[in-house]
Structure 1
Amino acid sequence: MFNNFFHLKTILAACLMLTTSEAYSYSVDKTPVEYLRTYKTYAIATLTNEAANPNGCTMTYKDYGAGRYIAVEFDSTEGKEMYSALLAAYLSGSEVAFGAHDGQCKVWSEDNTIPIAYRIDIIR
């Protein structure tokens, strides 16, 4: 009985980890960073290729939608480390890919919002 209960707890824990990390995020495929804006508490990367926008973020500029941008916030050590990686990738011309929070948008200006990164991948 104890053995079955232990296996059930393990399966339940694995399911919870999958739903909390995977179900509430999405990936942005590799793309060069065209432009990088740095503000006091966050940075905005303008991507060369427009990505999906499942969050429904509202940014529009010229013919670009919210999928052309991604925000990196500096409110944690991890955020500052992601910005360092993003800056290194931008300066070296490397392509990047992102993991973005599903259901969260960064307010950039008035009623314009863009996706927020939780992970940055640098591709050589």
Structure 2
Amino acid sequence: MLSTKPSNAFIAASWVALLAGLAAFIIGLWNAHMQLNEKGYYFAVLMYGLFAAISLQKSVRDQLEGIPVTSIYYGLSWFSTLLAIALLVVGLWNATLLLSEKGFYAMVFALSLFAAIAVQKNTRDAHGRTPESAAEPS
């Protein structure tokens, strides 16, 4: 079988992107002139989005590899990912922030979600997970 292990450069780039995205988002919130409940909302949306995106990536990949995934979990993964994005959009749409700040949060959110998916993919690929190895007892 063809090796699907990621290169060290891609692993490092994925981690750097994730950490940069998280750090930028959190530093942006820390320095923002908004109420603490608003900061909490954006932080919660970020954490929810990261979890949802990783869950979606895992369920899509499992299906592609022939690993059983229930339709309810698959659907909830899609719904959660789209809901996290929608919550961020609604929050930014109604926020009293400059357009540049809104763009900053949107782009860093997208970077963080993409990087989290890449890190999860790399972690899975680095362990050589295949449908055959998934069926073997650990």
Give the TM-score range, shorter chain.
under 0.3
Q: Which has the higher strand share?
A: 1
Q: Which has the higher helix share?
A: 2
TM-score w.r.t. length of structure 1 = 0.25
